[in-house]
Structure 1
Amino acid sequence: MDKYKITVFTPTYNRQRFLKRLYESLCTQTYSDFEWLIVDDGSTDSTEEYIKKLIKSCDKFTINYIKQPNGGKHRAINKGIHMAKGELFLIVDSDDYLTNQALEKVVYWENTLKNEKVKFSGISGLRVKETGELIGTTFNGMYKDTTYIERTKYGITGDKSEVFYTEVMRKYPFPEFEGEKFLTEAVVWNRMAVDGYLMRWTNEPFYICEYREDGLTHQGQEKNKNNFEGFTLWCKEWLEYTNSWILKCKIIGLYTWTGRNKGMSYKALEDKLQVNRILQIGLYMMTHLYKGIQYIKSCLNKLRRKNEHTFENANLD
């Protein structure tokens, strides 16, 4: 029997300075049947001291805190799923926070599933920036029922605020590779989809976020290169799941480009991904050209902004 309706789960690593805002957003929730579960992934800042102070002073909800050796967000999620006491599991990163009615809306939408809950892995809301700008794209209407893999057919792209049934999550632990500290969450979400689990996607904003330069979403290609076994797993499984040759070509090109930047031979990459070497080389060249064009565009945009700034200052003088 679940003790709470919702576990708000926060994996954190050296983010003490941002936790106050998340905590305050939990204090202002219009729904109260939840726990805040924090897995500290080996922080070396004052996170532990700060959370222990909150535990002593907070009288609005239960805070549970666990510290483990640094192993990456996916290992923290595995730990959190094991410790969670809520029926629903909502991941909120330590430098993000929730809208005031987020948990109330989560429960509302979960209740709309009624007798069909067994078909669903959970429900999802939108992520927005502090400016109100939507992360990714969405559809017209109130909700869509589809899998994580099929969602793009309905115009649902980018990061969303997924809320999963805890028992479903426990069936799909994140694979762990020795020496690697990152694995995209899409590996698990895709596996749920392949097994037929639907998600009820809504247009309710649950989650407010800011993508920071030192965050996981900004580490880009380096995290794929440094966590190559996990990246290989994601690529291999996507190639099995998708029927889109355009997407297959993008994945093979990105994989080969990443592996070559890591210093791997075409033969080694061919053996790992089980893809024709000639195709790999061709797609690698196309990806290399695309990356070069993107870099040039980025440099030109920076130069344009610099010139605009110089022009504005000259006019002020």
Structure 2
Amino acid sequence: MKTLTVFTPAYNRGYIIHKCYESLCRQTSKDFVWLVVDDGSTDNTAQLIKEWQKQDNGFEIKYIYKENGGMHTAHNTAYENIDTELNVCIDSDDYMPDDAVEKIISFWRENGSDKFAGIIALDVYESNRKTIGSELPNKKSTTLMGYYRNGGSGDKKLIYRTDVINATPMYPEFEGEKYVGLAYKYHIVDETKELLIMNEPVCIVDYQEDGSSFSMWKQYYNNPKGFAFFRKSEMKYQHGLQLFKTCIHYVSSSIISKNKNFVKESPKKLMTVLAVPFGTLLSIVNKHIITK
């Protein structure tokens, strides 16, 4: 049994996923499995993975094809098929430093226990190897939300215990939609356990123009039920201005999805009512941006 599963959701990334594969071939520790969840690709992704499976790479490659449903559904499929102690998502346009797996496993063996949900580590830019956002705090552990509430910024790499992440509900799937915020599950984990802090880079990021972060307005408009669900889950953990902003987005998504019961369904009803004028305006702006 290997210790770590590196899982990679992929959708039409045959042109770049080789960078992830090649970085795994270079790992100084091969105590991992690579799980590729193909989210309905129509390019040569399947052919590439199947060819790599035939090679003697020093690690097992698992490949699962599913109908296209969005990143969160690929994560659902991954979690259902992971049996290692730890897991980490490395996106199809990202890759790992050569010693990343070794550092993760060594750090966990030295510091890990049932008290912790896993590890939070650093992402760095491919262009200059600088940390994305701020460094992690100089202490033993933190929750993900606690890190951001205390001034943290930028994407971070999360390495979870598989039993802990699988104890949370699956991401919901809404017919005709392909987006639910991945932080939904991470926030639930935060309620019970902290993440060990490892101030080491374990993922090299090269943001692509076909990635989700570059099409957020379109995703926002095309997946209103998923966004509204995620905003409702966020309301449970927020206060003040941040809560009000979330209510505005919740109202906007509810209007786009034509949900007339959004106030009744909100966990923060008064704040939601106050946000109605602003949320209505945001829904109009969103539609204008998408249709212009």
Pairing partner for 1:171 from 157, 167, 171: 167
Query: Residue 191 of structure 1 is aligned with which of 164, 185, 188?
Result: 188
Give the match for residue 306 of structure 1: none
Equivalent AA in structure 2 for residue 32 of structure 1: K
Partner of 2:55: 57
Residues 20-31 of structure 1 mapped to structure 2, 5 A cutoff: 20-31=18-29
**SS class of match (1:86):** coil
Q: How far apart are the structure 2 equivalents of 1:152 and 1:13?
A: 29
1:254 Cα offset (Å): 2.5
Contact 2:227 2:253 (8 Å CA) reproduced: no
**Aligned CA-pair RMSD:** 2.5
C-alpha displacement at 1:167, in angstroms? 1.3
Aligned to 2:155: 159
> CA 1:102/1:25 → structure 2, altered by over 3 Å: closer, same or farther?
same
The reply to whether residue 102 of structure 1 matches residue 100 of structure 2 is yes
CA contact (8 A) 2:263 2:273 kept: no
Is 1:135 matched up with 2:142? no
Flag the 1:28–1:255 CA change in 2: closer, same or farther, 3 A. Answer: same
Q: Report the Cα offset of residue 258 of structure 1.
A: 4.2
Evaluate the alpha carbon distance shift between residue 25 and residue 36 of structure 1 in structure 2; reply closer, same or farther with a 3 A threshold.
same
SS of residue paired to 2:236: helix
Report what 2:15 is aligned to: 17
Structure 1 CA distance, aligned partners of 2:81 and 2:95? 21
Counterpart-to-counterpart distance in 1, 2:282 and 2:67? 37
5+ residue gaps, structure 2: none
Deviation above 6 Å: which 4+ runs of structure 1? 285-288
TM-score w.r.t. structure 1 length?
0.81
Q: How does 1:109-128 map to 2 (within 5 A)?
A: 109-114=107-112, 117-128=113-124
* SS in structure 1 of the partner of residue 61 of structure 2: strand
> In structure 1, what is the equivalent of residue 142 of structure 2?
146
Distance in structure 1 (CA, Å) of the matches to 2:55 and 2:279: 55
Native 8 Å contact 1:122 1:164 kept in 2: yes
Alpha-carbon displacement from aligned partner over 1:70-108 (angstroms, at most 9, x marks no partner) = 112212112112222321101011111011111111112
Amino acid at match of 2:129: G
Whole-angstrom CA distance in 2 between matches of 1:77 and 1:204 = 24
Work out whether 1:221 is the aligned partner of 2:217.
Answer: yes
SS in 2 for 1:183: coil
* 1:264 Cα offset (Å): 4.4
- Give the greater-gyration-radius structure (CA): 1
Query: SS state of the match for residue 227, structure 2?
Result: helix
- 2:15 aligned counterpart, secondary structure: helix
Kindly report which structure 2 residues correspond to 1:260-299, keeping only aligned pairs within 5 A, or say none: 260=255, 262=256, 264=258, 268-273=261-266, 275-276=269-270, 278-284=273-279
Name the residue aligned to 1:46. 44
Partners of 1:41 and 1:69 within 8 A in 2: yes
| One of 248, 258, 265 as aligned partner of 1:253 | 248
CA distance in 2, matches of 1:239, 1:154: 18
Query: Sequence identity, in percent?
Result: 33
Post-superposition shift, 1:168?
Answer: 1.3
Counterpart residue identity of residue 65, structure 2? K
SS at match of 1:225: helix
| Equivalent residue number for residue 313 of structure 1 | none
How many residue pairs were aligned?
283
Distance of 1:181 and 1:281 partners within structure 2: 25
Residues 114-143 of structure 1: CA deviation (Å, up to 9, x unaligned): 4xx2121110211111122322223453x4
Measured at CA, do residues 151 and 37 of structure 1 come closer, stay the same or move farther in structure 2, by a change above 3 Å? Answer: same
